[in-house]
Amino acid sequence: MRTAFHPSYLGRCRAAVAAALLGLAACPSAGAQTPAAAPVSIKQAFENYSKLDAHEKLFLHLDRTTYLGGDMMWFKVYAAEGTRQRPLPLSRVAYVEVLNGRQRPVLQAKIELKQAAGHGSFQLPATLPAGRYTVRAYTNWMKNFGPEYFFRSTVTVLNTFAAALPADTVKATPPDAQFFPEGGSLVKGLPSKVGFKVTDQAGRGLAAEGVLLDKQGKQVARFATLRHGMGQFVFTPAEAGTGYTAVLKLANDQTLTRALPAVYEQGYVLSVAPAGPGQLGLSVAANGPAAAEELYVLGHAGQHAFLAQSLRLANGQAQLVLDKAALPEGVLHFTVFNAQRQPVCERLYFRRPNSRLVIEATPDKPQYATRDKVSLRLATANGAGQPAAAGLSMAVYRLDSLAAPESAADIRSYLWLTSALRGHIENPGYYLQAPEPEAEVAADNLMLTQGWRRFRWETLLAGTPPALPHAPELNGHQISARLLNKATGAPMAGIPAYLAAPSRVVRLYNGISNPEGLVRFEARELYGPKNLVLQTNFRQDSTARFELLSPFAAEHAEQPLAPLRLTEQNRAELTQRHLQVQAQNAYFRKVLGAYAQSLTDSLAFYGRPDERYRLDDFTRFKVMEEVMREYVPGVVVRIRKGQFYFMVVDNGNRTIFTDEPMVLVDGVPFFNTDRVMKIDPLKVQRLDVVTRGYLHGPLTYPGLVSYTSYRGDMAGAQPDARALVQAYEGLQWEREFYAPRYETESQKQSRLPDLRHLLYWNPNIATTAGLPQQPSFYTGDEPGRYLVVVQGLSATGLAGSSSFTFEVKPAGVAQTR
């Protein structure tokens, strides 16, 4: 598993793998191969493909699942690799969005990742309509594999300014029933297992029972749902084509009628089932000419191929018995290939992981008074009880009738299960926590009805390198733009382009447009709101215009959202929540919105200049030409055809560059020196000169002249009118979570109301092996039951979560141990 690679390395790796796969495709036909040749080819093709796919996952720990308009939403981002769930420090940026019911973004942020983790926040607008919203997160690299691969979680937002309770926010749709033949197909005369699921409009399972009827209306099978509206049944199709119909009866006496998938005259059927104590059996059946064929079975979990074996059919039957204990943990894929190396059956199987992070979280008291100190003990261990260091995040919030803690995602079930399946998974934690064998049966039904693969076998086996247009952001945020011809709109290739954001911290990013006119700028340390300036050297090319591309994904996965239904019984809690938010914003607005700005390197991108002039150290001239001529010997000022030009002294070669240098004002390139000469020198603090050729990305500058103003506003100068100047939000500054402390008696007697719903949020708790952490915080003025949720991931891929509740009683009522 490669944890990081440069895009140029990716290109070389692609070429090597493409050559290897094309070599495989050029082998003799399957009929001429020895039995061992095809299996090696398929396995090798899979492994070669996996080398190009840095299998990256994101998980978000959200502080709560229910918010009010005006609330702050806090979150922690965990980045992990997809096979062993270890932290994956590949990408440096995560994209987090809040989407409404129409899949439109209402909030977006770019979160910096450091060592596979990051954290951020959203200030929810007070005007945000009540309803269910989807929070999703992904990296630029993850966009290569589609929105189904993004992290997604559902939250509820309530708008307490509305006079009436919100109506249902999701249009009512009838229940749905779907049927999935095991292995992919129903084949005439071959016993087949069929998985099914019955769901409501939000993807939640519904209880149902039903019968399967043939064309003549004769009953051939009966079935009933088990956990989460799923189940399975077995029958043998007697005829090919369509004609089998399932009739289901729901708990409310509603009837659904659904046609089963078509039955094939010939084909293959794969069955996966227990074969004895500690054993798993794979059975393949086929009819017609394939009844004596040699097949190939490949098993993989994530990027690891754990099974590669030939399987000879005898009288249309073959079986393979595996030791369950030797299988990898998590979601396993079994794929059967025919003699022509075509995938003919596929089945998922879930082996519940034993590996886990055990988080011991205990309070010092069972209950507390208002404005009382809460001290916790946090320790982490592996499943065997041995201490294990981990990075944790913790939230503490009040439970009420509006909170829905059971809907919160937990990191262990997400990494091991949810992220490997397509669509909505109801209560994923159940499959890792419920007792066996009940959970095993439920997981098998889930595997039958909800599969997903990150690639197409046809593409992989054809030797085609995967299309990966989105490179991982290894060093920082990548800003993409397209250069188009102003007159024709056609892409312009091979044009040097420049991006800058005016600032006293001098940063300049450049690139050269590719054949599609696309240019990428690796914008390191670009934080907060900026005004970007994108331009070409207009003296060399004045026909280009820019289109700044959004880094956020435009595609969306289907995400069923449950309707929001509130009754008059919720009005008291809504009123209480409203008072809490308004009190917090009224009395603590400044501290609630405070940012902890990251320390950035104030050194300019070119490092220490060869010459630096602090203009206050010299005689102050009122004209820039006098400044340059009088005390900047490294720059020669010339006038040609009535225009100013600079030439920088090349000290390395003891000559003068014949081409113009790169001239910057607060980091913004100025290609018209006349504009620079019109700047008021009294607004400029310093001038840097690089008296040598400077290599910057793909470009080389014949010297460099950089002006820095006192205010970072380009000293009032304006970039060329042909430049694109556009507002842009860089990486999000980190907000500091604020909570009052009541360490002294005077603090406890403060008359400021403390009506916090969220008592505590800490995204950066690190435990060490054998040394527990002891975080502490204070309760507010709100009595009630509070939930503590802790989630975390170790460096070895152990994931876990823990939660407990404690009571807060009014002062004088609380009893301690």
Q: What is the pLDDT of residue 599?
A: 66
Average pLDDT, integer, range 447-473 = 84
Indicate whether 643 belongs to any domain: yes
Q: What is the pLDDT of residues 137-190, one digit of tens each?
A: 999 999 998 999 999 999 999 988 776 666 655 566 789 999 999 999 999 999
Indicate if the pLDDT at residue 730 is higher than 60: yes
Q: How far is it, in rounded angstroms, from Cα 197 to Cα 205? A: 7
Do 293 and 256 reside in the same domain of the chain?
Answer: no
Q: How far is it, in rounded angstroms, from Cα 40 to Cα 27? A: 12
Among 509, 528, 548, which residue terminates a domain?
548
Indicate whether 199 belongs to any domain: yes
Q: What is the pLDDT of residue 397?
A: 95
Indicate if the pLDDT at residue 36 is higher than 70: no
Indicate whether 206 belongs to any domain: yes
Do 528 and 635 reside in the same domain of the chain?
Answer: no
CATH number at residue 331: 2.60.40.1930
Indicate whether 47 belongs to any domain: no
Six-digit token string for 76: 């922690």
Q: How far is it, in rounded angstroms, from Cα 31 to Cα 43? A: 18
Mean pLDDT (the chain) is 89
Average pLDDT, integer, range 515-519 = 96
Domain that holds residue 677: 611-729
Do 303 and 200 reside in the same domain of the chain?
Answer: no
- Give the ranges where 639-749 is alpha helix by DSSP (H): 673-677, 745-748
Indicate whether 279 belongs to any domain: yes
Do 496 and 526 reside in the same domain of the chain?
Answer: yes
CATH number at residue 622: 2.170.130
Do 481 and 536 reside in the same domain of the chain?
Answer: yes
Do 624 and 720 reside in the same domain of the chain?
Answer: yes
Q: What is the pLDDT of residue 377?
A: 95
Cα–Cα nearest to 316, from 275, 274, 267:
267
Indicate if the pLDDT at residue 529 is higher than 60: yes
Q: What is the pLDDT of residues 100-122, one digit of tens each?
A: 999 999 999 999 999 999 999 99
- 11 phi and psi angles, rounded to 5 deg: -60, -45
Do 615 and 720 reside in the same domain of the chain?
Answer: yes
pTM for this model (two decimals): 0.90
Q: What is the pLDDT of residues 301-318, one digit of tens each?
A: 988 999 999 999 999 999
Q: What is the pLDDT of residue 326?
A: 95
Average pLDDT, integer, range 627-656 = 93
Q: What is the pLDDT of residue 10?
A: 36
Indicate whether 588 belongs to any domain: no
Indicate whether 42 belongs to any domain: no
Domains in the chain, number: 4
Indicate if the pLDDT at residue 334 is higher than 80: yes
Q: What is the pLDDT of residue 396?
A: 97
C-alpha dist (Å) from residue 380 to 60, 364, 801, 803: 20, 17, 10, 14
Q: What is the pLDDT of residue 422?
A: 87
Do 633 and 706 reside in the same domain of the chain?
Answer: yes
CB 530 within 8 A of CB 509: no
Six-digit token string for 552: 């956020």
Indicate if the pLDDT at residue 530 is higher than 50: yes
Among 729, 760, 776, which residue terminates a domain?
729
Q: What is the pLDDT of residue 291?
A: 87
Do 238 and 314 reside in the same domain of the chain?
Answer: no
Average pLDDT, integer, range 786-813 = 93
Do 322 and 251 reside in the same domain of the chain?
Answer: no
Indicate whether 98 belongs to any domain: no
Average pLDDT, integer, range 274-295 = 92
Indicate if the pLDDT at residue 405 is higher than 60: no
Give percent of the chain above pLDDT 90: 73
Among 684, 703, 729, which residue terminates a domain?
729
Do 214 and 276 reside in the same domain of the chain?
Answer: no
Give, as one character, the DSSP assignment of residue 28: P
Do 681 and 615 reside in the same domain of the chain?
Answer: yes
Six-digit token string for 35: 């039995």
Q: What is the pLDDT of residue 166?
A: 64
Q: What is the pLDDT of residue 404?
A: 64
